[in-house]
């Protein structure tokens, strides 16, 4: 079963189950994982706010979780999700919408 | 430019640039990112050993980095890589070779 680190957290990577694109990455504590499994909606733990966070709670852009994979060390998860809207708070489909080129960040999608 | 957290780390997710499969996830500090960019081979920071780690140093299974993407908060990266062998120390192609089903972990690839 998943193992949480000294801070009680593990890494959760949300992937679009259709395109396989990485949408976002955040942390989960035990509560966030339990709520995710109970509801089928991705919940995370906000390190800055120190509390549970239902992704889409304010935006309506929930991530419906279809499958959860676990890594060899059991301290990281990949969530295969169906996104209900853009995953990024900027309105981008994925939070990873820029690439590093030399010293510049170059936008790769609209 | 990338921002490191209070521990001086950011999350780095390695993806197969061909299949887009998530291969592994680890942490990078500033040194690991600099060495990765200099050499084109993925370097990470081992939290347990507290030091720089060239992926493949002992196994020969290096990850050749073709592109680096940065997330909205600039505290996580996706590395698009060409893997030179299995990415996982268990010999699996990806570290995420099991899924959560109820209370069980079920192997999804050989």
What is the per-residue pLDDT across A62-87, written as a single tens digit (0 to 9) for each? 999 999 999 999 999 999 999 999 99
Distance from CA of B62 to the nearest CA of A (A): 18
User: Is residue B73 annotated as involved in ligand binding?
Assistant: yes
The chain B residues in contact with chain A (CB within 8 A) are: 1-2, 11, 13, 15, 19-22, 24-25, 37, 67-73, 76-78, 88-90, 92, 95-100, 103, 105, 108
SS3 B12: strand
What's the residue count for chain B? 110
Residue A18 has a pLDDT of 97
User: Is residue B71 annotated as involved in ligand binding?
Assistant: yes
Residue B29 has a pLDDT of 98
Sign of the four-CA dihedral A52, A25, B45, A74: positive
Among B2, B15, B40, B69, pick the best mutation site for testing chain A contact (most A Cβ within 10 A).
B69
Q: Do A22 and B24 touch (CB under 8 A)?
A: no
Q: Residue A9's closest CA among A77, A80, A96, A67?
A: A77
d(CA B55, CA B11): 15
- Residue A35, pLDDT above cutoff 60: yes
Q: Do B89 and A67 touch (CB under 8 A)?
A: no
CB-based burial label for A32 (10 Å; 0-12, 13-18, 19+): buried
d(CA A86, CA A48): 22
What number is the ipTM of this complex?
0.96
Nearest CA in chain A to B38: A102
Q: Where are the domains of chain A?
A: 10-107
Q: Do A69 and B100 touch (CB under 8 A)?
A: yes
Q: Do A95 and B71 touch (CB under 8 A)?
A: yes
Assessment of whether the complete model's pTM goes beyond 0.80:
yes
Distance from CA of B73 to the nearest CA of A (A): 8
Q: Domain B10-107: give its CATH code.
A: 3.10.20.810
CA A101 to chain CA centroid, Å, is 25
Q: What is the average pLDDT value for chain A, to the nearest integer?
A: 96
Q: Do B96 and A105 touch (CB under 8 A)?
A: no
Q: What is the mean pLDDT of residues A27-40?
A: 98
pLDDT of chain B along its 110 residues, tens only? 899 999 999 999 999 999 999 999 999 999 999 999 999 999 999 999 999 999 999 999 999 999 999 999 999 999 999 999 999 999 999 999 999 999 899 999 75
Nearest CA in chain A to B104: A1
Left if phi > 0, otherwise alpha if psi is -120 to 50, otherwise beta: which for B62? Answer: beta
Residue A1 has a pLDDT of 82
Measured between beta carbons, the chain B residues lying within 8 angstroms of A11 are: 11, 25
Edge to edge, what strands does the sheet with A22-28 contain? A51-54, A43-46, A22-28, A10-16, A76-83, A63-70, B98-101, B104-107
């Amino acid at each position: 079963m998943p193992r949480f680190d000294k801070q009680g957290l593990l890494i959760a990577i949300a992937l679009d189950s259709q395109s396989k694109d990485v949408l976002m990455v955040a942390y989960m504590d035990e509560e966030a994982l339990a709520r995710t499994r109970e509801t089928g909606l991705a919940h995370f733990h906000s390190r800055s706010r120190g509390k549970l966070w239902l992704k889409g709670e304010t935006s309506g852009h929930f991530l419906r979780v279809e499958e959860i994979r676990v890594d060899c060390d059991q301290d990281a998860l990949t969530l295969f999700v169906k996104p209900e809207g853009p995953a990024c708070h900027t309105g981008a489909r994925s939070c990873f919408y820029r690439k590093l080129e030399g010293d510049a960040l170059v936008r790769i999608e609209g």
